[in-house]
Amino acid sequence: MIKYLGQANQDCLTSQATKDTVARWFVDAAFAVHPGQKSHTGYYMTLGSGAVISASKKQNLNTRISSEAEQVATDKAAGPMPWTSRFLLEQGYGVKTILYQNNRSAILMESNGHSSAGKRSRPLDIRYFFITDLKEKGLVSIKYCPNRIDDS
């Protein structure tokens, strides 16, 4: 780490907002990668370039399929989404919030709630459908994002 910091002392990190005032949240989970078969959550929010909010953390519960791990990851990111939108609104910036995710099964569950949950995902606790409520209220839209960014 010290060697890296010594070499990177001239590097500059910048954040820049675009004029379209869209808060883009990118969420992903790595399924069963930790001891005890726990998954890992990662997410970040950008207003253009550079992460404004980011997190990377081991999930504190076991999930049985990857789409459940994605759902748990989305729940972690969904907490700060409304707060961030309200904060930016108070600063004079009305923002549109878009959640990007690469798991189509998780997107279906997030968009449709329990009606899209299959036999293996039914035991998911209802609190992980908070994102469904945000979508129904028009506070967030959910888009598929493959391993590259697509602003369409």
59: domain CATH number?
Answer: 3.30.420.10
Q: Confirm if 106 and 129 have CB atoms less than 8 A apart.
A: no
What pLDDT is recorded for position 131? 82
Q: Identify the pLDDT of residue 152.
A: 47
pLDDT of 129: 72
Domain assignment present for 34: yes
Number of compact structural domains in the chain:
1
CA distance from start to end of the chain: 38
For residue 110, is it within any domain?
yes
Cα 1 to chain centroid distance, Å, stands at 28
pLDDT of residue 128: 60
Using CA atoms, how far residue 17 sits from 21, 89, 123, in Å, is 7, 15, 40
Residue 150, in any domain of the structure: no
pTM of the model: 0.77
Instruction: Determine, yes or no, domain membership for 75.
Output: yes
113 burial class (0-12, 13-18, 19+ CB within 10 angstroms)? middle
Instruction: Report residue 49 as tokens.
Output: 């370039």
Q: Is residue 36 part of a domain?
A: yes
For residue 61, the model assigns a pLDDT of: 86
Taking the C-alpha atoms of residue 107 and residue 15, their distance in angstroms, rounded to an integer, is 28
Q: Are 26 and 51 in contact (CB under 8 A)?
A: no
> Which pLDDT score is estimated for 87?
92
Q: Is the residue at 149 inside a domain?
A: no
Is there a domain that residue 21 lies in? yes
User: What pLDDT was estimated at residue 144?
Assistant: 92
Domain that includes residue 119, residue range: 13-144
Count of other CB atoms within 10 angstroms of residue 96: 14
Is position 5 within any domain? Answer: no
DSSP 71: H
Below-50 pLDDT ranges, the chain: 152
Question: pLDDT value at position 96?
Answer: 92
